[in-house]
Amino acid sequence: MSDELSAARRRLLRGKRPSSYSLGRGDEKTKRMEFEEFTKRVRKLPRHGLWRYGQAGDLPGEGDTIDPVQLIELAKANQNRPVIAFTHKPPTEENLEALQQASDLGFKVNLSADNMAEADEFCDLGVSVVVVLPLEYSRKTKGKEWLETITAYKERTKSLPKTTPKKRRIAVCPATYTDTRCSECRICSNHERNGIVVGFPVHGSRKLKIKTG
Ligand code: SF4
């Protein structure tokens, strides 16, 4: 798992998160109760509102393992609501099977890759992929303010690779260089995106606020 990508995503997810949840830590009983409470809350989310799973954590399961039972419970609780979900857990056979079962129930998850070559590896598995991008892809900031204009940013980054080594298109998350909201973009919840890999620049996030609402 990339700490950089996790940190980048945490920065991205700051701000208003009206429909976001993450699992807590504690002993098994506590975690189980928290999970059940969590799925109850998921069931009560608006039927068509986009929400974001796992602001600070990952899919249920210890370490690199996805707990298939809890993931299915989560998928059933979600009842096909549009959701943005990521995992850094590796695409082992067992994890992929759990992800497929959840996907069949309408709960689709993006696999997080640490670099473009790994993004290609994950895409070859037929899953949706996001990737951490190098610093150069970031729009410069100072505190919470943009330090370069959008025109200057686009000019500076226009020569950077826009595809993976296997020529899959990279789409830089627009919330990392504009004030776009996830509800306007939605690409991370769209799993029919023709192999587009969503990229998150590792730094320069302007204390980024990706807004789901
Ligand atoms: S703004 Fe778009 S690309 Fe960025 S996290 Fe939200 S849905 Fe994903």
193 lines ligand 1 (CB under 6 A): no
The residue-averaged pLDDT of 168-194 equals 95
**More reliable by pLDDT, 142 or 67:** 67
188 lines ligand 1 (CB under 6 A): yes
Distance 180 CA to ligand 1 centre (A): 8
Distance 211 CA to ligand 1 centre (A): 9
Percent of the chain with pLDDT over 90: 73
Best residue for ligand 1 mutational test, from 14, 19, 84 (most atoms within 8 Å of Cβ)? 84
Domain assignment present for residue 121? The answer is yes
**Under a CB-based contact definition with an 8 Å cutoff, are residues 204 and 139 in contact?**
yes
Of ligand 1's atoms, which has the minimum distance to the CA of residue 212?
Answer: 6
Domain assignment present for residue 127? The answer is yes
Phi, psi of 140, rounded to the nearest 5 degrees: -65, 145
User: Would you give the DSSP letter of residue 187?
Assistant: G
Domain assignment present for residue 153? The answer is yes
* 119-167 per-position pLDDT tens digit: 999 999 999 999 999 999 999 998 889 999 999 999 999 999 999 999 9
210 lines ligand 1 (CB under 6 A): yes
Domain that holds residue 60: 3-201
Domain assignment present for residue 209? The answer is no
Chain-centre distance for alpha carbon 114: 13
Number of folded domains in the chain?
1
pLDDT of residue 57: 74
Domain assignment present for residue 123? The answer is yes
pLDDT of residue 13: 40
Domain assignment present for residue 145? The answer is yes
Range list of H helices, 105-167: 116-123, 150-157
Domain assignment present for residue 206? The answer is no
Question: What is the CATH number for 31?
Answer: 3.20.20
Domain assignment present for residue 109? The answer is yes
173 lines ligand 1 (CB under 6 A): yes
**Under a CB-based contact definition with an 8 Å cutoff, are residues 175 and 139 in contact?**
no
Of ligand 1's atoms, which has the minimum distance to the CA of residue 185?
Answer: 2
Closest CA to 211 of 9, 16, 11: 16
